[in-house]
Amino acid sequence: MAGRLLKLSSLATALFASSGFYLNSRQLDLNDLSVIRFGRAAATTAVISYDYLTAFKHVEYGTEEYWALKSKVHRRSAERLLDLCCANRGTFIKVGQHLGALDYLLPEEYTSTLKVLHSRAPQSSMEEIQKVIREDLGKELSELFVSFEEKPQGAASLAQVHKAVLHDGRTVAVKVQHPKVQTQSSKDIVVMELLVRVVHWLFTDFAFLWLVEEAKKNMPLELDFLNEGRNAEKVANMLSHHTFLKIPMIHWDLSTKRILTMEFAEGGQVNDTDYMKKHGINVNKISENLGKLYSEMIFVHGFVHCDPHPGNVLVRMCPQSKKTEIILLDHGLYQSLEEDFRVNYCRLWQALIKGNMSKVEQYSRRLGAGDLYPLFACVLTARSWTAVSSGISSVPVTNSEDVEIRTNAALYLPQISELLNRVPRQMLLLLKTNDLLRGIETTLQTRASSSSFINMSRCCIQAMARHKRSKVQSRRRRLQINLAESLCLWQLTLYELYLWVKASMLVHWFSALLAFVQ
């Protein structure tokens, strides 16, 4: 097996090198050619597979030496994967970013290495940007804008954003798609699917076809910027009652499938604690409000923004109202949850918060976890089974527990892969979203605060009441549901008040103690 892989690797490398030499002499961009992109991906896959097949031959499984070596193999494989993503760019970077976000599902060596892809996305030249604008809008930059900054505000895997000023004086952000992404993406996904199937044939425990399936389904949607604009308007209307949320307004007359022009919104990234401190922004309030937004999106509406990495979530002190705002960007990737899935997911979280283990098992099984429901509960909450069994709202997160969870991601990778292939496809983007939100909470040091569980519980109560009302016709029954909902929400508000009073008294007592000691 290892010999076959070595030959395959050598052949792929030779093909890649000779093709590269020939095409370089003709002054062509290698990244435009499918054979080069495939050869590079095949060679990287072969080298990584060969490393895993041969590295552990003379090491006893389960020993300290084995785990140390496995960590090194994970690390160098992740670095090879990173190099591949940076070389092939486009879809490869997008998938690499997705993997880097799965903190509690993949070994730490992979997630920490691939996270840098959020800041290492490629940039298109100004000539390429002008060409896309000319082709799609039919005019030159000077005809459309008074000014257009050449240096992008940010570059992502599929596009980059430039700041510009319209002729009426309004400042806008112009998101322009990298010109070659559209033609390359479908071919790249075919390559990924083929290589993932080959790796699964070599290592039966490796079952990451779900990742390719998600990319195949979501990439066309993310490459259609008109779809992104529609999502932005939909979520802005849906959450308009949250005055702290800012969704930039879309300029439809200057938008196409490859160009999205929107209101320019400035702020600091949600993980930039120095920015928040400098501008007097309360990190606890930001974390609480972010939790409110996502709890409502998931449990109440079933329409979820699935890419909340820090570059897409900005915070600022509004110059007009002097209140803290959250600015939500990049609306290309949304997940619409089916009614039955959303209701079962809602009931599962209610059981997890309360520590009702029979209900945790019941609703985990309904969501496809089967006998792997304990692992599913741990993956979903990023908590240990001990914490899950006790009720995650009553057991605080500790550093040792966090280390345990990350370690288990490496130990139980085959079971996690099997679980991800079992659960409904809707669950996959939710798991990614959960991990990204947890990463923000960890940076802000607000992880698993009582307010987050209260917000989740409130949204679960509202979602279940809405679901029950949709199933009945009787006015009397509707009134009963409304009263039960109001009672539960009132009890939750009283509990929240109790926690606030308790915290205030504790602060007062501590201050008095300090004064006495001094």
pLDDT per position as a tens digit, 444-502: 877 666 567 777 888 888 888 888 888 888 888 888 888 988 888 887 777 667 666 66
For residue 204, is pLDDT > 80?
A: no
Work out the pLDDT band at 297, boundaries 50, 70, 90: very high
Instruction: Give the Cα separation of 307 and 228 in Å (integer).
Output: 12
Based on its alpha-carbon atoms, the radius of gyration of the chain, rounded to whole angstroms, reads 25
pLDDT at 515: 64
**169-176: average pLDDT:** 96
pLDDT digits (tens, 9 = 90+) for 47-102: 999 999 999 988 888 888 988 999 999 999 999 999 999 888 888 888 888 888 77
Work out the pLDDT band at 22, boundaries 50, 70, 90: very low
**91-119: average pLDDT:** 84
Amino acid identity, residue 19? S
pLDDT at 517: 63
**144-172: average pLDDT:** 93
- Run of H or E including 317: strand 313-317
91: its two tokens:
């879809």
For residue 1, is pLDDT > 80?
A: no
pLDDT at 275: 94
pLDDT at 91: 86
pLDDT digits (tens, 9 = 90+) for 480-490: 888 988 888 88
Angular region, 322: left φ>0, alpha ψ -120 to 50, beta rest:
left
Instruction: Give the Cα separation of 386 and 252 in Å (integer).
Output: 52
422: its two tokens:
């079992």
pLDDT digits (tens, 9 = 90+) for 335-356: 999 999 999 999 999 888 888 8
Instruction: Give the Cα separation of 501 and 496 in Å (integer).
Output: 9
For residue 6, is pLDDT > 70?
A: no
Contact 32, 79 (CB under 8 A): no
Q: DSSP per residue over 128-189, as a string? A: HHHHHHHHHHSS-HHHHEEEE-SS-SEE-SSEEEEEEEETTS-EEEEEEE-TTHHHHHHHHH
pTM of the model: 0.82
pLDDT digits (tens, 9 = 90+) for 249-296: 999 999 999 999 999 999 999 999 999 999 999 988 898 899 899 999
Q: Residue 384, Cβ neighbours under 10 Å: how many?
A: 20
For residue 388, is pLDDT > 90?
A: no
Active site residues: 307
pLDDT at 472: 84
Going by C-alpha positions, the residue among 70, 72, 71, 122 that lies closest to residue 96 is: 122
Instruction: Give the Cα separation of 260 and 331 in Å (integer).
Output: 11
**390-402: average pLDDT:** 77
Q: Residue 148, Cβ neighbours under 10 Å: how many?
A: 18
